[in-house]
Structures are given as structure tokens and as C-alpha cells.
Amino acid sequence: MVGPWSTVGPHVVLGEECELISHVVLDGRLTAGARNRFSPFACVGVAPQDLKYRGEATGVTLGDDNTIRECVTISRGTAGGGGVTRVGSGCLIMAYAHIGHDSVIGDHCILANNATLAGHVIIEDYVTVGAFSPIHQFCRVGRHAYIGGGTVVTQDVLPFSLTSATREAHAFGMNKIGLERRGFDRERLRALHHAFRLLLAAKMNTTQAVEKLRAEGARSEDVQYLVEFVETSKRGIIR
């Protein structure tokens, strides 16, 4: 359904049962899956806010079952960043959130009101970004992470973590409640708790903590992923 005062560009492809409530702008080479719902004044696929952009044929892809609330902006990609901004399936993008060019959002993510993603940000599956939280260019947020409202993110956010800030961002530990809600059993939680204790609470630096976890054989697939996330971080991690 396309509601009143909405505009759909000539290169936009919409899946079945998408709904544009009213005053929605869909532009560029946007491809959206099924059952996406766009609220009033959402602008998706619009030109990136990048001075280097010269009208190249770039785009946005959306999966299925996403809710895009009022005044959300999702910019299309740039030639220098891969050309596509991607959003997975089952995401809730709340009012006034912004997803910058060439960003990649996984499945089942929540971006609360006024969450702001600069260009080239990677958000993995099941991440929650709190209200009024800006994320710096080229940062990566690991899956199942929870970022508290008003947190300024300038480095990578550990997967499974609870990260928040009053003045400076800190990882406060494991996102225990969120992981329990997603069905993590005691053994998975116990292994992750041990890993976070070494990374955040033990009297050792990040390299030493990772080496110890490696020496222990990484107690679970979750811990293995956590260790690999730290080792491949390009901007450093928030501790």
C-alpha cells in the first residue's frame, strides 16, 4: 500500500505487502523485501551526506519485516564505500534515527530514537542502540550488544556487552538480561561471564586477556567469536 503524498523513485523495487503510510520518500536504487512498513516522513535511499558523492548509481537494500518509523533517514551508498547501504530483516528503526552511507545493519536490530550512524558503520545481529547515541565512522558493533542511551561510540563495541556512558563510554560487562531473553543457557552465559571478567575486570591489558583466553582453548563458540572480534578490531575496543 502506498499512502497519500508518498513518492517512489523509478528505480525502487518493493516486495510484497510493503506499506507506505503517508509522506514517505523512497529514492535511488532501493530494493526492499516483503512486509516493510514506512512511517510518515521517512526518507530511504536518498543521496548520501558526503561531499565526494557525484550522483553515482548507488543504492540501499532492506530485508523483510522492518519497521521504519517517523523521519528516519537511510542514505544510499557511495562508490568509495562499496556502493550499498544494507539493512537486514526484522529491524525496528525508531523515529529520527539516521543510517549513514555504506553502513551494514544485521537482522533483528533496534535503533532507538535519534540513534545516529555515520558512514561505514557495521552493526551485527541482535544489537540495540540506545536513543541519542552517535556511532563514529568505521566502527563495528558486535552481535547481541546493548548500547545505552546517550553513549558516544568512537571505538568498536564488544559483542554480548552492555556498553553505556555518562561522559565516556565504558563496557560494564555482559548483556546478561538480553542474552537470557534470547535463550542463552547457563553454560553459554558462564563461559561468556568468564571471558568478560578477564577482558574487563582482571588486572591485565587486552592483549594479555586474549592470550589467556586463547591458552584456555576458548570455552565456547561464543567466546571464540568474542576473541576473534577483539583481534580483528581496527579502531580498538571500548573496555
pLDDT confidence of residue 63 = 98
- Domain final residue, candidates 107, 123, 139: 123
Q: Tell whether 98 and 191 lie within a shared domain.
A: no
Q: Tell whether 97 and 193 lie within a shared domain.
A: no
Residue 143 lies in a domain: no
Q: Domain holding 31: CATH number?
A: 2.160.10.10
Instruction: Output the pTM of the full model.
Output: 0.93
User: Measured between alpha carbons, how far is 82 from 120 in angstroms, rounded to an integer?
Assistant: 9
Q: Tell whether 187 and 118 lie within a shared domain.
A: no
| Residue 61: pLDDT band with limits 50, 70, 90 | very high
Kindly state the cell numbers that stand for 209.
586477556
pLDDT confidence of residue 166 = 62
Instruction: Determine the average pLDDT of the residues in 120-128.
Output: 98
Q: pLDDT digits over 28-53, tens only?
A: 999 999 999 999 999 999 999 999 99
Residue 169 lies in a domain: no
- Provide the CB-side half-sphere exposure for 71 (13 A, CA): 8
Q: Write the DSSP string, 89-126.
A: SS-EE-TT-EE-TT-EE-SS-EE-TT-EE-TT-EE-TT
- Domain final residue, candidates 97, 123, 149: 123
Round the average pLDDT of the chain to a whole number and report it.
Answer: 94
Residue 103 lies in a domain: yes
Question: Which domain does 228 fall in, by range?
Answer: 179-232
- Domain final residue, candidates 123, 145, 163: 123
Q: Tell whether 31 and 110 lie within a shared domain.
A: yes
Instruction: Determine the average pLDDT of the residues in 18-35.
Output: 98
Q: Tell whether 115 and 201 lie within a shared domain.
A: no
Residue 142 lies in a domain: no
pLDDT confidence of residue 167 = 60
Q: Domain holding 188: CATH number?
A: 1.20.1180.10
Residue 149 lies in a domain: no
Neighbours of 52 (CB within 10 A): 11
Q: Tell whether 38 and 107 lie within a shared domain.
A: yes
Residue 16 lies in a domain: yes
Enzyme catalytic residues: 101-102, 119
Count how many domains the chain has: 2
Q: pLDDT digits over 153-196, tens only?
A: 999 999 999 999 766 678 888 999 999 999 999 999 999 999 99
Q: Tell whether 184 and 115 lie within a shared domain.
A: no
pLDDT confidence of residue 204 = 87
Q: Tell whether 110 and 184 lie within a shared domain.
A: no
Q: Is 163 left (phi over 0), alpha (psi -120 to 50) or beta?
A: beta
Instruction: Determine the average pLDDT of the residues in 57-70.
Output: 98
Q: Tell whether 119 and 15 lie within a shared domain.
A: yes
State yes or no: pLDDT of 217 exceeds 80. no
Residue 167 lies in a domain: no
Kindly state the cell numbers that stand for 77.
551508498
Phi, psi of 89 (to 5 degrees): -120, 155
Q: Tell whether 107 and 214 lie within a shared domain.
A: no
Burial pattern 15-50, b for ≥16 Cβ within 10 A else e, equals eeebebbebbbbbbbbbbbebbbbbbbbbbbbbbeb
Residue 109 lies in a domain: yes
Burial pattern 97-130, b for ≥16 Cβ within 10 A else e, equals bbbbbbbbbbbbbbbbbbbbbbbbbbbbbbbbbb
Q: Tell whether 84 and 189 lie within a shared domain.
A: no
| Contact between residue 170 and residue 153 where contact means Cβ atoms under 8 Å apart | no
